[in-house]
Structure 1
Amino acid sequence: MRTLDDTDRQILRLLLDDARRPYSDIADRVGLSAPAVSDRVDRLREIGVIRRFTLDVDRSLLREGTPMLVELDVRPAAVQDVAVALTAVDSVDHVFRTADARVVFRAPIREGDVTAFLDTVVDLDDVRGIDASLVVSDEWTPGLGEAELALSCVECGNTVTSEGESARFDGELYHFCCDSCLSNFDERFDRIQSDV
C-alpha cells in the first residue's frame, strides 16, 4: 500500500470519529467485509498512518490547574530538547514545534504560574520568551481531508510513489522509491549485519 484510496480515507474518518467502532460497522459503511477492513487497518498501522488508538478526555471535567496555551521562544539549538521534555509531561496534551524556533503547548498549570511549571520541566536558559494565554474552551477535531500517503524513501528521502518498493529488514518494514534504493539499503544492511 503506497497510496490511499477513498475506502482507506473513509475507514480513517470513521475511526477518527470513534476508534472503538467495530470493524463490522465500518465494513457495512464502506462496502467491505469485516476481515477486509481489519486487513486495511493493519496495513495502515504497519506503515505508520495509524500510530495508536487513543482516548479523548474532556479535561474541563477534571480539576488539575488553569488551562493555558503557552508559546515559547526557544534558542534554536534547544527546540528539540524543549519539545521532547514537554511531550514527556503527563499533563501536557499538545506540543507543536514551529520553523522559527517556537514551541507551543497546551497544559493545565497549577495556579497559572507558567514560569514555575517550566522551571520543573526545561532549562529556563533555553527559553528566550514566554507568551501565555488562558484557554476558555478548546475543541480538538482531527480531520483527514483529501490527504494522500506521503511515505519517504529511507535511502534517499524522496517520496515513495505507487511504483515504490517495501521490504522487511530484521522484522521492520521500510519503504523505498525505487529498486536502486532498495538494493543500496539491502547491501549496506547486509554489510552491517556481517560486521556485527
Structure 2
Amino acid sequence: MRDLDETDLEILSLLAANARRPFSEIGERVGLSGPAVSDRVTRLEESGVIEGFTLDVDRTMLRAGVPVMIDLEFAAAEAASTDGVDPLDAARERARDADAVEHIFVTAEGDLRVYARVEGRNVREWVRRLFDGVPVADYAVTLVDEFEWTPSIEGVEFALTCAECSNTVDSEGETTRIDGEVYHFCCPSCLSRFQERYRRLEDGV
C-alpha cells in the first residue's frame, strides 16, 4: 500500500475540521484542482482511511450515562473460553458490540481498557453481564471525572493500524478486502492469522 503524503494529510485535516468543505476550496488550500482533490478522497475511501462522512456526536454533551474506565485482566492463556476463542478477543468483541462503549484500548501486557458511558447506577452489574462467560481474572471500574479526546491527523501522529495486532502499518504492510470491508496489516503473518481466524468464525469452528 502507498504511504500517505503531506497533501493527503492536509486534505484529511481540512475534512476533519469541516466534512462539508467543497473540494474546490480544499484544492485552493493544497494547490490542487477540485477534481484532483476528489480523486484523492476517493482513493482514501477505497483504502479504508476514510469510512464515510458521519456525525461526530459528543456524548458528554448529552450526558448519556455514567462515564467510567474499566480495566480487565484475563486468566492464563490455557483458561480460554469454552468455544476456543482467546479471552482478550472475546472481551474485545463484546465491548465493540456494546452501545455504551466509546473507546477500546489493548495494553502491551494484553489487558483490555474500555471507556464507556453506562446507564443506571449499578456499573459492576453491567460489566458482569457484558463479559459473562469470558474468563476475566480481575477487573477494576474507575469513575471518570473529566474526559478529553483530541485525536490528531497531523504528521506522524496519523497512521493506519494493523487489524490483527494494532501495530502501525507502513509502506511494507498488506491491505485486503474481506466481505466488502477493507483491512490493513503490518505484515503477511498478521494477514494470514486474521484470515484464518475469520474463516474459523465463518465455519463456526
Question: How does the TM-score come out when normalised to structure 1?
Answer: 0.70
Q: CA offset at residue 95 of structure 1?
A: 1.0
Out of 145, 150, 162, which is 2:154 matched to? 145
Out of 63, 87, 103, which is 1:78 matched to? 87
Q: Report 1:1-196 matches (<5 A).
A: 2-75=2-75, 77-123=86-132, 125-147=134-156, 160-161=171-172
Q: Tell me the secondary structure at the aligned position of residue 101 of structure 2.
A: coil
Measure, in 2, the Cα distance between the counterparts of 1:115 and 1:82.
15
Q: CA offset at residue 167 of structure 1?
A: 9.8
Paired residue type of 1:36: A
Structure 1 residues 65 and 25 mapped into 2: Cα distance closer, same or farther (>3 Å)? same
Q: Tell me the secondary structure at the aligned position of residue 155 of structure 2.
A: coil
Q: CA offset at residue 29 of structure 1?
A: 1.4
Q: Tell me the secondary structure at the aligned position of residue 93 of structure 1.
A: strand
Structure 1 residues 114 and 124 mapped into 2: Cα distance closer, same or farther (>3 Å)? farther
Q: CA offset at residue 159 of structure 1?
A: 5.5
Measure, in 2, the Cα distance between the counterparts of 1:38 and 1:111.
45
Q: CA offset at residue 81 of structure 1?
A: 0.9
**Which structure has the bigger radius of gyration?**
1
Measure, in 2, the Cα distance between the counterparts of 1:114 and 1:170.
36
Measure, in 1, the Cα distance between the counterparts of 2:131 and 2:178.
37
Question: Number of residues paired by the alignment?
Answer: 169
Structure 1: 5+ residue runs without aligned partners?
153-157, 176-180, 182-196
Write out per-residue CA displacement over residues 112-164 of structure 1, whole angstroms, 9 at most, x where no aligned residue. Answer: 43321122222265222222222222222211232377698xxxxx9645xx9
Structure 1 residues 131 and 174 mapped into 2: Cα distance closer, same or farther (>3 Å)? closer
Write out per-residue CA displacement over residues 146-194 of structure 1, whole angstroms, 9 at most, x where no aligned residue. Answer: 2377698xxxxx9645xx999999999899xxxxx9xxxxxxxxxxxxx
Write out per-residue CA displacement over residues 27-60 of structure 1, whole angstroms, 9 at most, x where no aligned residue. Answer: 2211212211111011111112223433222222
Structure 1 residues 23 and 82 mapped into 2: Cα distance closer, same or farther (>3 Å)? same
Write out per-residue CA displacement over residues 50-90 of structure 1, whole angstroms, 9 at most, x where no aligned residue. Answer: 23433222222324321111111123530011011111111
Structure 1 residues 120 and 167 mapped into 2: Cα distance closer, same or farther (>3 Å)? closer
Paired residue type of 2:27: A
Percent of residue pairs bearing the same amino acid type: 41
Range moving further from structure 2, 136-145 or 41-50 = 136-145
Structure 1 residues 134 and 3 mapped into 2: Cα distance closer, same or farther (>3 Å)? same
Structure 1 residues 18 and 124 mapped into 2: Cα distance closer, same or farther (>3 Å)? farther
Range moving further from structure 2, 7-16 or 55-64 = 55-64
> What is the aligned-residue RMSD (CA, Å)?
3.5
1:188 corresponding residue in structure 2 = none
Q: Tell me the secondary structure at the aligned position of residue 130 of structure 1.
A: strand
Measure, in 2, the Cα distance between the counterparts of 1:3 and 1:19.
22
